[in-house]
Amino acid sequence: MHTNKAVESKSPVQMFLDQNPINLFVGGQWVAASGNRSFATFDPGSGEKLTEVASATEEDVDAAVRAAKMAFHKSGWRTISPSERAVYLHRLADLVEEHRDELAEIESLDVGKPFSQARSDVDNFSKTMRYYADLSVHTQYHEPLAVSHHEARIVRQPYGVCGFIFPWNFPLLLAGWGISPALAAGNTVVIKPAEDTSLSTLYLMKLVRESGIPDGVVNVVTGPGESTGAALASHPDLAKLSFTGSPEVGRLVAESCGRNLVPVKLELGGKGAAIVFDDVEIEMTAAALSRAITLNTGQVCCTASRWIVHEKIYYQFVDAVLSQFKKIRIGYWDDPNTEMGPLVSARQRSRVLGYLEKGRNEGADILLEGGPAEVPGKKGGFYVKPALLAGRAGNIACREEIFGPVPFLLKFRDEEEAVGLVNSTRYGLANSVWTNDLQRANRVAVSMVAGNSWINAHNVFPHGVPYGGLNMSGMGGGVLGPNTLFDYLRHLSVVRPL
């Protein structure tokens, strides 16, 4: 009696965490990792352990791929009509909306992001799911071809088992961007979330189960990248692998896929730029770029981390940024006043602080020191203050992705110089141009070599606009666009001579 009352008073999130360890989700069942292996996951806002998560071995990954393969061939997911599949996917989106606060709490606890931001990530997941569910209903799966003396058509069919490996910065949102088109196209999936932030993806599996999506259509294997991730990337039965993460790991994953001739999609890092011309409203632009670089504590692949500012307004712009950075409210996720949470881990904090040191050693001007931040009552959290650096484009802090609230300022004289600076990187994810001259804005937008150019804004992702990178920032088509659905449909030509 006493025990039951204790259970009743626990929140769904606490009950979920209390499973300790939280198991793998394979073939519609919660299963322990072989050998009962698990690892700890932490709250970056306090440094405290949240729970244990199962650590999948190669054997467990193989079981997940086999479950997904079986579901592809036997569950009917591949053969039911797109509109029937869409009903399941909308049901899942409904459930995500119903459990919005639990999912957001889990995301905040695991990543450290303020609750309101976590909630918008959850909403983004359901929007993505609905977008691809609807798109799949209106897609042509048989396309007649006009060729003489033949009856010919292209038939579009799902590939089979698609593997997904995700990073830790937007776990649920990126899972939505990845798996929604694959599922809507009729594939089955095996997901490997980042080891630091597996929890929201695991909680999502409770909802997948409730939605009635057949067993084995969605599977999750948790564990370290070097073992669990590598086992998934090198599995010969994958029909496709989509990886989101760093270029270094992307290269390893692509090599593994290459050996098996498994097609791969890569969404990788960036070192995005913002060109600020001298006709902008300075305070507003400084505020918008400060918001962009502090969003998710700077752990955003496409953020603008090189700010290229016209020399005429440079010093006014610096002052405006400094005043923005000094007033930012750093805090724990459950404080409604918090604007910026911690970095995701002690490792990530060392990386960011290390870049401040390396930048300084290479002669960067330190306009704002940054460094560790203290949040009352949360001594163990991985908080940092925003920093502001300036100097030469060759400085390491200007060349390499830091993944923290640390922009690097460069001065320019004319448009050509500014565009040259933007394009002086091997990354190619997203840049922005800020000016009141729309003709110039459009001209510069198409001269910047990357997957995405934004005008008078940064970090803009409407569903239906493709988002992806080139060079060191990715390959294989990107995400979020209407064509992303076709990335998960193979083409078959059917021909009959007449």
Q: Which residues are catalytic?
A: 267, 301
Q: At what angle do helices 171-184 and 199-211 cross, to 10 degrees?
A: 40
The residues near 137 (Cβ < 8 Å, ≥ 6 apart) are 82, 83, 86
Per-position b or e across 266-283, b if 16+ CB within 10 A of its CB: bbbbbbbbbbbbeebebe
How many Å apart are CA 104 and CA 330, to the nearest integer? 19
How buried is residue 409: exposed, middle or buried, by Cβ count under 10 Å (0-12/13-18/19+)? buried
Between the alpha carbon of residue 81 and those of residues 69, 76, 218, 360, the distances in Å are 19, 10, 18, 59
Three-state SS at 480: coil
Between the alpha carbon of residue 76 and those of residues 139, 183, 210, 240, the distances in Å are 19, 13, 18, 20
Pick left, alpha or beta for residue 133 (phi over 0 → left; psi -120 to 50 → alpha; otherwise beta).
alpha
Question: Closest approach of Cβ 5 to ligand NAD, in Å?
Answer: 39
Q: Between residues 216 and 225, which has the closer beta carbon with respect to ligand NAD?
A: 225
How buried is residue 417: exposed, middle or buried, by Cβ count under 10 Å (0-12/13-18/19+)? middle
How many Å apart are CA 305 and CA 296, to the nearest integer? 13
Question: Closest approach of Cβ 38 to ligand NAD, in Å?
Answer: 15
Pick left, alpha or beta for residue 202 (phi over 0 → left; psi -120 to 50 → alpha; otherwise beta).
alpha
Question: Closest approach of Cβ 442 to ligand NAD, in Å?
Answer: 24
Q: Between residues 45 and 193, which has the closer beta carbon with respect to ligand NAD?
A: 193
The residues near 32 (Cβ < 8 Å, ≥ 6 apart) are 21, 23, 24, 54
Encoded tokens for 145: 């071809």
Asked if 31 and 221 touch (Cβ cutoff 8 Å), the reply is: no
Q: Between residues 249 and 320, which has the closer beta carbon with respect to ligand NAD?
A: 249
Encoded tokens for 486: 């076709």
Q: At what angle do helices 199-211 and 82-98 cross, to 10 degrees?
A: 130
The long-range contacts involving 437-444, CB below 8 angstroms and separated by at least 24 positions, are 437/277, 437/279, 440/277, 440/415, 443/415, 444/275, 444/415, 444/418, 444/419
> What's 340's DSSP letter?
B
Q: In the complex, which residues of this chain contact ligand NAD (CB under 6 A)?
A: 165-169, 192, 194-195, 225-226, 229-230, 233, 244-246, 249, 252-253, 267-270, 301, 401, 403, 429, 469, 474
The residues near 185 (Cβ < 8 Å, ≥ 6 apart) are 136, 158, 159, 485, 488, 489
Question: Closest approach of Cβ 41 to ligand NAD, in Å?
Answer: 12
How many Å apart are CA 365 and CA 358, to the nearest integer? 12
Q: Between residues 102 and 401, which has the closer beta carbon with respect to ligand NAD?
A: 401
Question: Closest approach of Cβ 437 to ligand NAD, in Å?
Answer: 30
Q: Between residues 217 and 252, which has the closer beta carbon with respect to ligand NAD?
A: 252
Omega before residue 21 within 30° of 0, cis: yes
